[in-house]
Amino acid sequence: MQPLSTADCHVRLGVDLIAHSWDAVVLTALRAGPRRRVELRAELGGVGDKVLHQSLARLRARGLVEQVDRAYRLTATGASFAGGPLLALARWAEEHAAAVTGPA
**DSSP state for residue 6 in the 8-state scheme:** T
Residue 74 is part of a domain; what is its CATH number? 1.10.10.10
Q: Structural domain tally of the chain?
A: 1
With respect to residue 5, please indicate whether it lies within any of the assigned structural domains.
no
What was the pLDDT predicted at 1? 57
Identify the band that residue 25 occupies on the pLDDT scale cut at 50, 70 and 90: very high
pTM: 0.83
With respect to residue 4, please indicate whether it lies within any of the assigned structural domains.
no
Q: Which residue has the higher pLDDT, 104 or 46?
A: 46
With respect to residue 66, please indicate whether it lies within any of the assigned structural domains.
yes
Q: Which of 44, 35, 42 is nearest to 69 (CA)?
A: 35
Task: Give the H or E element holding residue 71.
Answer: strand 71-74
Identify the band that residue 96 occupies on the pLDDT scale cut at 50, 70 and 90: very high
Residue 18: domain span: 10-99
With respect to residue 2, please indicate whether it lies within any of the assigned structural domains.
no
**Tens digits of residue pLDDT in 26-43:** 999 999 999 999 999 999
With respect to residue 95, please indicate whether it lies within any of the assigned structural domains.
yes
Identify the band that residue 10 occupies on the pLDDT scale cut at 50, 70 and 90: confident
With respect to residue 29, please indicate whether it lies within any of the assigned structural domains.
yes
